[in-house]
Amino acid sequence: WKWDEILMDFITGLPRTQRRHDAIWVVVDRLTKSAHFLPIYKDYSVSKLAKTFKQEIVRLHGTPSAIVSDKDPRFTSCFWKGLQKVWGTRLKFGNWDDYICLVEFAYNNNWHGSIKCAPFEMLYGRKCCAPICWDQVGERVIEGPVMIEVTNEKVAVAKEKLKEARTRQKSYADKHRRSLEFQPTDRVFLKVSPARGVRRF
């Protein structure tokens, strides 16, 4: 269901703003692809992140059943090693947190190929009515059983489109995957982790 499984990541290395924010916490719903962009400090503790999560995510969507954070340095011992310095050169203004809500708005109202609509429409069952388009798109009130029916249809479509997208990705990966067979005396390269050292047999 919506916001039952979420993905999260951090954008770090941003210039510090007047509110002392220097990172963005991105939280994405796996089904609808809708997202929240939360301005934070890069040195937030895990307890502070949990509090922010409760205030900004749980307050709106409830507690998710699954959270995926792929190689997130904040939950490993290597957070300070991967700061993205490139943002310091591309982002030239020091008040980006004043506009992060507009970035979130733009993201959630852009069409996504995997679900064939905008995340906002997938999440709420209707197109978003922004001030810039009120004269073009009228507000349509959907209530009761009709809202439930429309929402269920949107969720069914999303699941089907995501399934198709995963199938296409798997098909593409399978085309470029080849099985490797080795014979005795073949020479191969071994990848060894420097942290663990080289073991000799």
Residue-level pLDDT at 108: 82
Q: Cβ of 9: how many Cβ atoms within 10 Å?
A: 17
**What mean pLDDT, rounded, does the chain reach?**
69
Residue indicated by tokens 């949107």:
154
* Higher pLDDT pick, 59 / 130: 59
- Tell me: pLDDT of 200 over 50: yes
Q: Where are the domains of the chain?
A: 1-108, 111-174
Residue-level pLDDT at 5: 83
- Tell me: pLDDT of 101 over 80: no
Q: Which amino acid is at 72?
A: D
Given CATH 1.10.760.10, say whether it is the number of domain 1-108: no
Tokens of 147: 């809202």
Query: Where do runs of H (alpha helix) occur along 54-201?
Result: 59-61, 86-90, 100-108, 119-124, 144-175
Residue-level pLDDT at 39: 93
Average pLDDT over residues 85-104: 52
pLDDT digits over 19-47, tens only?
889 999 998 998 888 999 999 998 887 77
C-alpha to C-alpha distance for 119 and 33, rounded to whole angstroms: 5
Residue-level pLDDT at 38: 94
pTM, two decimal places? 0.47
